[in-house]
């Protein structure tokens, strides 16, 4: 039986509802305003047209929607009843839910855009805290996975989050990756594009985009075309488009919260909504919050792992993988290694009264493997920053063939391999050295969340293996083309010793400081 205006449906207790007006449509079906006949109370009824790839997907959806029925809160649309098609077999699946009569958050954002009227700080804080409160309750039970302004309804002055538990329907309806789900593509977290497991950080990222839109009345990424690959590239690689406007329209504390919500690396976002709320309620942080904003946007790797059947497809795939991997390393390098130096140059030039200013020069543009910058501080020192992308299986070594007792000669063969540190693939190797030949290294190693972890490496002479002809100034940097030499010093006793420390910006700046001051 088709449900439409004039149709009657029932809840779990047999109460009848008459559909009186269509108020919305979506990939899941239609939304109707309905009247409960016994008391004339108004509700919304959402019809569902689930089309699942298999029974497991259907079971997952049923379980999730049953959990969603138990979620209640002031900033959440209450689900009165879910009909899965069994209790009333003549009727299709539907949800009876609380009615919100004042449109959606999308309507309000679009109206403000037309008027060119930004939300005040007080308005933003009120909206943000309502959404945080609602998401905190939802995420204690399930991950929403379809956060967008269209799924935030308004009842009076109260925001109500809806469609939690329905993401599986939306996902199945857009499985072909067409623009049918482009509204969702606008808010998909980086890890969603890689089909990672569901976490609340996905919802935090999506809500971070909404927070950004509310503050700036703009989308955080430059979308040139409404195409799948354009959206994907934006979420995986692009920094937010107008950080200055975000800071102008809010304040340092709120901007830092939003930037952290939008961090490409899942583990660097907030762990919970309580943590976000605590940040909103706390006093303004020290001035170093401003300095940390620059480094908050980190990109992640687009790891296309589609197996191809024809040679040309395999070649194209390999080129794409190298390009994406290089973009990932480039963005990580710019965010964590170069941006702090840019901040330093800017602050130095602002505070220095001399006419000869410091500057950072890109000497070698990015190509498939190498890149180079130079920091010039007149009359003090020049510091060269050289980097190299370490592609998978791009190194070669000789190994012995199996030996057989048939008088064959001993032989070796060459194999390709990927250098490892701490059992993790090395993704990039960086050499930083001043013009007095003092320096240090950094490596980017793969990690579980695909973004990788940076390590700072200090290199010194190993006096217990003293060879006077091999002594060098210390601390020193291994050349960017000598990763294998560094690995030997890490893995075994050698002429030199190399110590790894996990990257922090403070430790990184401390090492840069030593190169600036160390001239003898």
Domain of residue 400: give its range.
344-517
Half-sphere exposure (Cβ direction) of 346: Cα atoms closer than 13 Å: 8
**Mode of pairing for the β-strands spanning 158-161 and 424-434:** unpaired
Domain co-membership, 222 together with 290 = yes
- Segment holding 66, helix H or strand E: helix 55-69
Instruction: Read off the pTM.
Output: 0.61
Q: Kindly state whether residues 165 and 23 are assigned to the same domain.
A: no
Distance CA 449, CA 267 (A): 8
At 131-184, the pLDDT tens digits run: 999 999 999 988 888 899 999 999 988 999 988 766 544 444 444 333 333 347
- Which tokens go with 507? 């430790």
Which pLDDT score, from 0 to 100, does residue 54 have? 58
pLDDT score at 58 = 60
Q: Do 407 and 503 have their domain in common? A: yes
Write down the pLDDT at residue 75.
Answer: 95
> What share of the chain has pLDDT > 90, as a percent?
38
Q: What is the mean pLDDT of residues 98-121?
A: 93
Q: For position 177, what pLDDT does the model report?
A: 38
Report yes or no on 205 lying in a domain: yes
Residues 124, 55 share a domain: no
Residue partners of 271: CB distance under 8 A and separation at least 6: 201
On the question of pLDDT at 295 being above 50, the answer is no
Of 247, 268, 300, which residue sits at a domain end? 300
pLDDT tens digits for range 464-489: 666 677 778 888 999 999 988 888 88
User: In the listed set 300, 334, 360, which residue is the last one of a domain according to the structure?
Assistant: 300
Tell me how crowded residue 98 is: count the other CB atoms within 10 A of its CB.
Answer: 17
Q: Are 489 and 496 in contact, with CB atoms under 8 Å apart?
A: yes
Nearest in space to 48 (alpha carbons), one of 168, 151, 213, 158: 168
Residues 86 and 196 in one domain: no
- Which of residues 224 and 297 earns the better pLDDT score? 224
What CATH number does residue 26 fall under? 3.30.200.20
Residue 500 domain-assigned? yes
**How many domains does one find in the chain?**
3
pLDDT at 59: 64
* Range picked from 89-103, 113-127, 459-473, 484-498 for highest mean pLDDT: 113-127
CA distance 390 to 482: 12
Question: Is the pLDDT score of 459 beyond 50?
Answer: yes
Residue-wise pLDDT tens digits, 14-44: 999 999 999 887 656 788 999 999 999 999 9
**The last residue of a domain, from among 300, 315, 335:** 300
Q: In this predicted structure, what is the pLDDT of residue 288?
A: 42
């Amino acid at each position: 039986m088709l449900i439409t205006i004039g149709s009657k449906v029932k809840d779990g207790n047999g109460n009848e509802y008459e559909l009186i007006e269509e108020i919305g449509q979506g990939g899941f079906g239609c939304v109707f305003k309905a009247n409960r006949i016994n008391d004339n109370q108004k509700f919304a009824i959402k019809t569902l047209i689930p089309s699942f790839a298999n029974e497991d997907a259907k079971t997952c959806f049923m379980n999730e929607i049953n959990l969603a029925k138990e979620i209640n809160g002031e900033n959440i649309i209450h689900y009165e009843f879910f009909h899965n098609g069994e209790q009333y077999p003549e009727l299709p699946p539907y949800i009876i839910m609380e009615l919100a009569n004042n449109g959606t958050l999308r309507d309000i954002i679009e109206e403000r855009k037309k008027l060119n009227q930004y939300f005040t700080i007080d308005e933003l804080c009120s909206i943000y805290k309502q959404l945080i409160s609602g998401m905190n309750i939802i995420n204690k039970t399930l991950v929403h996975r379809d956060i967008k302004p269209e799924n935030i309804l308004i009842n009076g002055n109260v925001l109500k989050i809806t469609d939690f538990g329905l993401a599986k329907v939306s996902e199945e309806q857009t499985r072909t990756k067409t623009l049918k789900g482009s509204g969702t593509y606008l808010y998909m977290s980086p890890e969603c594009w890689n089909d990672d497991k569901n976490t609340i950080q996905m919802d935090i990222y999506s809500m971070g985009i909404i927070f950004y839109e509310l503050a700036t009345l703009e989308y955080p990424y430059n979308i040139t075309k409404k195409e799948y690959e354009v959206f994907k590239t934006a979420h995986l690689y692009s920094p937010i488009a107008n950080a200055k406007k975000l800071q102008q329209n809010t304040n340092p504390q709120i901007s830092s919260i939003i930037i952290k919500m939008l961090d490409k690396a899942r583990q660097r976002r907030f762990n919970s909504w309580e943590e976000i709320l605590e940040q909103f309620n706390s006093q303004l942080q020290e001035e170093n919050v401003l300095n940390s904003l620059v480094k908050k946007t980190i990109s992640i790797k687009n790891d296309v792992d589609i197996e191809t059947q024809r040679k040309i497809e395999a070649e194209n795939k390999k080129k794409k993988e190298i390009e994406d991997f290089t973009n990932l390393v480039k963005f990580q390098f710019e965010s964590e290694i170069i941006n702090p130096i840019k901040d330093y140059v800017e602050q130095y030039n602002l505070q220095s009264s001399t006419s000869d200013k410091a500057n950072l020069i890109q000497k070698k543009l990015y190509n498939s493997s190498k890149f180079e910058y130079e920091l010039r501080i007149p009359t003090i020192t020049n510091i060269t920053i050289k980097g190299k992308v370490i592609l998978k299986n791009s190194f070669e070594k000789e190994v012995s063939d199996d030996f057989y007792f048939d008088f064959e000669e001993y032989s070796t063969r060459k194999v390709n391999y990927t250098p490892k540190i701490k059992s993790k693939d090395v993704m990039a190797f960086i050499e930083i050295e001043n013009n007095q030949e003092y320096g240090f290294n950094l490596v980017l190693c793969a990690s579980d969340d695909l973004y990788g972890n940076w390590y700072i490496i200090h290199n010194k002479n190993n006096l217990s293996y003293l060879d006077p002809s091999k002594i060098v100034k210390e601390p020193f940097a291994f050349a960017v083309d000598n990763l294998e030499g560094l690995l030997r010093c890490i893995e075994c006793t050698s002429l030199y010793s190399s110590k790894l420390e996990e990257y922090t910006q403070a430790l990184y700046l401390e090492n840069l400081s030593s190169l600036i001051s160390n001239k003898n």
